[in-house]
Amino acid sequence: MLVVEDEVLVRLMICEELRERGLRVIEAVSADQAAEVLQSSTEVDLIVSDIKMPGRLDGLALARHVDAHHPGLPMILASAAFWNRAELPDCVQGLFPKPYAVDGVVNRICEVLKDRMSGPGDQGGTDVSAATEPDPAA
């Protein structure tokens, strides 16, 4: 699991919750750094990323990079701005408005990971869960 977030306190909050649920989390402070992690031998099964971040790439560009170079790797995005689903790359399987409730995002992460483990033929779909509110359903 790779969490990409430039705000340290937000990153801390979500990473801590994910670790408490037993997930192994790698932290990146920018999409550029995340791309470096993906280029390394580090295993990543899902990316959670903010969209607006400083650096060469933003979260959307990172998602396009994932579509192009890591097909099947799901992403969940968060943004304070409105985004049209049609604008989002295929790998995006969740979009949360910021500020978000951590539980909603983490629940969605767990769902995507569960689907990924149970349904290998259903990866990389375009089923975007664009939550206007955090989805409490586990």
- Cα(109)–Cα(48) distance, rounded to whole angstroms? 8
CA distances from 99 to 49, 56, 78, 102 (A): 13, 24, 8, 9
- To the nearest whole angstrom, how small is the minimum distance from the Cβ of residue 23 to other proteins? 12
Which CB, 24 or 69, lies closer to other proteins? 24
Instruction: Calculate Rg over the CA atoms of the chain.
Output: 13
Which CB, 16 or 127, lies closer to other proteins? 16
- To the nearest whole angstrom, how small is the minimum distance from the Cβ of residue 20 to other proteins? 10
- Under rule CB under 8 A, which residues in 26-65 are in contact with other proteins? 26-27, 29
Among 4, 14, 15, 48, binds other proteins (CB under 8 A): 15
Residue 89, CB-side half-sphere exposure with 13 Å CA sphere: 22
Task: Enumerate binding residues for other proteins (CB under 8 A).
Answer: 8-9, 11-12, 15, 19, 26-27, 29
